[in-house]
Chain A
Amino acid sequence: QQKVQQSPESLSVPEGGMASLNCTSSDRNFQYFWWYRQHSGEGPKALMSIFSDGDKKEGRFTAHLNKASLHVSLHIRDSQPSDSALYFCAAHTGYQNFYFGKGTSLTVIP
């Protein structure tokens, strides 16, 4: 069973629009979450981490974590064509390895 589920599988938004990506864990031991972004031909790179309930904002990116429901989301405001990429949610317990979701493919349409 996949321990980290992401939705949707793919998403298209217009340039300047808001993109919303979702991630849910099936393991209550996962308390720490990261978002990674992978552009075509590159390795994934960390976007941001979130460890506490609530919102965390970094520029145009806002992550939201609800530990009770094991749900984390990523919202990208004012989406740009350069945001087109594969986005991975990653979770860990604090003392073991990361588990990655299958990813959401985001396309920003100019």
Chain B
Amino acid sequence: GGIITQTPKFLIGQEGQKLTLKCQQNFNHDTMYWYRQDSGKGLRLIYYSITENDLQKGDLSEGYDASREKKSSFSLTVTSAQKNEMAVFLCASSMWTNTEVFFGKGTRLTVV
């Protein structure tokens, strides 16, 4: 088995601040994802990457940047935090885009 590690677990930022969330996986999976989870809205895809240095926009990419410098890591940057950003951000990985997705435990973002 493998594990997805997200850091930090809790992130408090100020409105307008640039914030970075990090994710590492040891599954040796090719594809990695960032999802945002808001209460009552399910999981919405922000960015995904099918290989190192690849980036694909999801439905919710505006206001975010992502970076996949190596196969095992995928980072997400909130370019200018807004008070409605408060949510849980989930990193995930899978072998390909149509196979089982494995999730990390999430980073809970609070903007003050």
Interface residue ranges, A against B (CB under 8 Å)? 9, 32, 34, 36, 41-46, 49, 88, 90, 92-98, 100-103
Contacts and interface: CB of A to CB of B under 8 A. Distances in A.
A43 B98 contact: no
Contacts of B104: 43
A9 B44 CA distance: 17
Interface string B8-36: 00000000000000000000000001010
Contact of A43 (B44, B45, B106): B106
DSSP majority for the B interface? strand
Nearest to B106: A43
B42 A88 contact: yes
A46 B105 contact: no
B4 interface: yes
A42 B105 contact: yes
B43 A95 contact: no
The 3 A-B pairs at the shortest CB distance, nearest first, are namely A43-B103, A102-B42, A100-B43
